[in-house]
Amino acid sequence: MNERKLQITDDGSHTLYSEEARETYHSTYGAIQESEHIFINACLNTDICQKLKNVRILEVGTGTGLNILLAYNWSVKSKIPVTYYGYEPFPIRKNETLLLNYPEILGVDKRLFFLMHDNKGKFINLSNKFSVFIVEDKIENVKLHPDVYDVVFFDAFSPDAQPEMWTVEIFNSLFKSIKRGGVLTTYSCKGNVKRSLEEVGFVVEKLPGPPGKREFLRAWK
């Protein structure tokens, strides 16, 4: 895995540029802004999630850990417990974690950010209502149990950079793993992604995107 380069996005939050994927981990128009729009506002802030007594989240591509911190803050504010499972085959290094400014901007204790990055393969409690378990493996290598998750954040690199991640087979596995009424969100709005999601049974809608992006996809089971 090649080195990743730190970049500042338009909202002042950081992202990393992957030489291997030739893409940034987050939108250069605003890393936090994009993730809040797609994964928090369009997913966790829906009526379905707000009514749950606890939320099980699966993230495909935990990357920098930004979505985990945003979900943690959502859990604190909503007082809804969260169990967060993530799959990331190429986790960022400790020196890269130290550079990222998400804890400062989001008002989260830096120690929690380091804790979740330093303990792959273990259940870590960031609070008494938020636990996280990150697996250092590819989602395609994992046999997911059916009807487990309420929410899926699909945040892999783009279909152009990682076509093997955006297949009918993977979406079918995710569809089965989501409970009825559950939701998947992803920043991509490509026609073949939408068709693949629909092919496995999701009801898919296009929603207005964050700055710099016209639309993104939300899919319901």
Chain segment 145-202, per-residue pLDDT in tens: 999 999 999 999 999 999 999 999 999 999 999 999 999 999 999 999 999 999 999 9
pLDDT at site 146: 97
Average pLDDT in the chain: 96
pLDDT band at 120 (very low <50, low <70, confident <90, very high): confident
Say if 19 falls within a structural domain.
no
In a domain, 124, yes or no: yes
Would the pLDDT of 8 be above 60?
yes
Whole-prediction pTM: 0.96
Instruction: Note down the domain range covering 153.
Output: 32-94+109-220
Sign (positive or negative) of CA dihedral 76, 79, 85, 86: negative
**63 assigned to some structural domain:** yes
Q: Is residue 103 part of a domain?
A: no
Q: Does 200 fall in a domain?
A: yes
157 inside domain: yes
Q: Which residue has the tokens 């990331």?
A: 88
User: What CATH number is associated with residue 56?
Assistant: 3.40.50.150
**What pLDDT score does 119 carry?**
86
Q: Are 4 and 19 in contact (CB under 8 A)?
A: yes
**pLDDT for 2 beyond 70:** no
